[in-house]
Structure 1
Amino acid sequence: MYDWFSQLSPVIQALIAGIFTWSLTAAGAAAVFFVRGVNNKLLNTMQGFAAGVMIAASFWSLLAPALEFSEKAGNIPWIPAAVGFLLGGMFIRGLDFIIPHMHREGSEGHRQEGVKSNLKQSTLLLLAITLHNIPEGLALGVAFGSIIHHDHTALLAAIGLAIGIGIQNIPEGTALSLPLYADGKSKGKAFQLGQASALVEPLFAVIGAAAVLLITPLLPYALAFAAGAMIFVVVEELIPESQSGNNTDLATLGLMLGFTIMMILDVSLG
């Protein structure tokens, strides 16, 4: 299986990885068929877990390779990492400002961001999670796109990143479908919206991989760009939402567990 996968082009590998992470989002969203209602303790813990995975992936899978690649190319290592990281955060902030979406804030209700619109609340919640998934798709793309410049360990590291993102996508899908069901959607509709939030991951995985392959010097900037975009989402959305209830200790422990699992995956495979 590994030999077959390793022979594919990085773009196809990124596409398969994106489909894999989307499928685990769908698996998480399917929890709505088996769970009666929202358990805020579980929800906050899962949000913290997802934040921990993304923080670890941002450094171990993206920033560290960006620094290493720049150094090997004879450049000042921190320049591409710093520039790409800041641009990634600015990119998501720009989308945040333009695209109408809504964040769930525990018992306090919902907070709407972006341009004013008359979209349904469920659509706004879906757009919020979709924005969250764009950096994950880009991260997958640039990780697999970088394989062409490294040995097989880079492929293992990219696979580890896909596994880590996929693992955190399970609670992410649940964290969208259950609140939608609690807000009055049918279980079928809540599942459909939950899984649809990750459909952007295969798309942006392909975009990220293709961009890196077409413009080789872009690689360290692209890696850091994906890291900056992910950290922006973590700090702006995941951590505040996980801490919005009365389960701050559980959310924090979930974050530490997610960070540890992603770190182990990346270091052991990379």
Structure 2
Amino acid sequence: MKINDPILLALIATGFTWFMTALGAAMVFFFKEINKRVLNMMLGFAAGIMVAASFWSLLAPAIEMAEKSSLPAWLVAAIGFLSGAAFLWLADRILPHAHFFAKEGEVEGIPTNWRRSILLVFSITLHNIPEGLAVGVAFGAAANSMSETGLLAAVAVALGIGIQNFPEGAAVSIPLRREGVSRMKSFMYGQASGLVEPIAGVIGAAMVTSMEAILPYALAFAAGAMLYVVVEELIPESQSGGEHESADLSTIGFIIGFAIMMILDVALG
């Protein structure tokens, strides 16, 4: 099967993931508050999807493709994986941002006088980069394999990330509203956090289709970057609050998210 324009497909797919972010952010027009337990469960759900996608959609295909390389497959996967995590670690140290669970005035990255609302959006935007990259690289891999299975696997990645972007959009906009930002501004900030995904998706698809040799590295890179986000931000944030029941709900959300992404990937890919 010939995929004529994987870059266009990546743009359409990441357009869908952005739309789901915007749809979630629109919940701010209906709710001013979000229960902490519900928020924790949504964040755990997003983490579960990202962990499952990192293995089934990215790492496993990277290892399979790397077996054709002159280097050992494990080395190719490890180089890409560690590079992705290092990239996010560096971005986390440089770009100013704040976590939702952070206390007032706690800012990461270079010092700045930006408002907390902007810093919160930057935090979500930062971890949307590997999500968009994962979708773009998946469609680039589908173009490389020229198989229906590869295309369905890429669609599974887009669906999974789109599903987890809905609660993620709400998790951005509603807390901003609680901090006094207007409903419209909260929505605009929430949907804007997902705009980076189409950009990263197009870049990822363009890179792997023009430089086929980097494909297994790119897949593993996206996996490393996504898992860095999960461990550094989503899981700690989903477990915050100090209540045992709240932590249990975030764990349940993680399991459900992981299972949904696993089913999507195995059924479609």
Do they superpose with TM above 0.5?
Answer: yes
Deviation at 1:147, TM superposition (A): 1.2
Match of 1:141 in 2: 136
For 1:138-182, what per-residue CA distance to the aligned partner results, in whole angstroms no more than 9, with x for missing partners?
101110001122111000000000000000000000000010000
Across the two proteins, how many residue pairs are aligned to each other?
Answer: 265
Match of 1:215 in 2: 211
Match of 1:126 in 2: 121
Q: Tell me, yes or no, if the aligned pair for 1:104 and 1:111 is still in contact at 8 Å.
A: no
Find the aligned partners of 1:266 and 1:40 in 2 and give their Cα distance: 30
Q: Structure 2 stretches of 5 or more lacking a match?
A: none
Match of 1:242 in 2: 238
For 1:99-149, what per-residue CA distance to the aligned partner results, in whole angstroms no more than 9, with x for missing partners?
10000117x557310000011111101100000100001101110001122
Match of 1:182 in 2: 178
Q: 1:114 aligns with which of 104, 109, 112?
A: 109
Q: Tell me, yes or no, if the aligned pair for 1:103 and 1:110 is still in contact at 8 Å.
A: no
Task: Report sequence identity in percent.
Answer: 57
Q: Structure 1 stretches of 5 or more lacking a match?
A: none
Find the aligned partners of 1:9 and 1:170 in 2 and give their Cα distance: 27
Please tell me the residue identity of whatever aligns with 2:38.
L
Matches within 5 A, 1:1-270: 7-73=3-69, 75-105=71-101, 111-150=106-145, 151-245=147-241, 246=243, 247-270=246-269
For 1:197-238, what per-residue CA distance to the aligned partner results, in whole angstroms no more than 9, with x for missing partners?
000000000000011011111000000000000000000000
Question: TM-score, normalised on structure 1?
Answer: 0.95
Find the aligned partners of 1:111 and 1:19 in 2 and give their Cα distance: 33
Please tell me the residue identity of whatever aligns with 2:142.
I
Find the aligned partners of 2:135 and 2:106 in 1 and give their Cα distance: 29
Find the aligned partners of 2:183 and 2:28 in 1 and give their Cα distance: 6
Matched residue of 2:79: which SS? helix
Q: Tell me, yes or no, if the aligned pair for 2:32 and 2:177 is still in contact at 8 Å.
A: no
Please tell me the residue identity of whatever aligns with 1:131.
L
Question: TM-score, normalised on structure 2?
Answer: 0.96
Find the aligned partners of 1:8 and 1:42 in 2 and give their Cα distance: 42
For 1:234-254, what per-residue CA distance to the aligned partner results, in whole angstroms no more than 9, with x for missing partners?
000000000011210000000
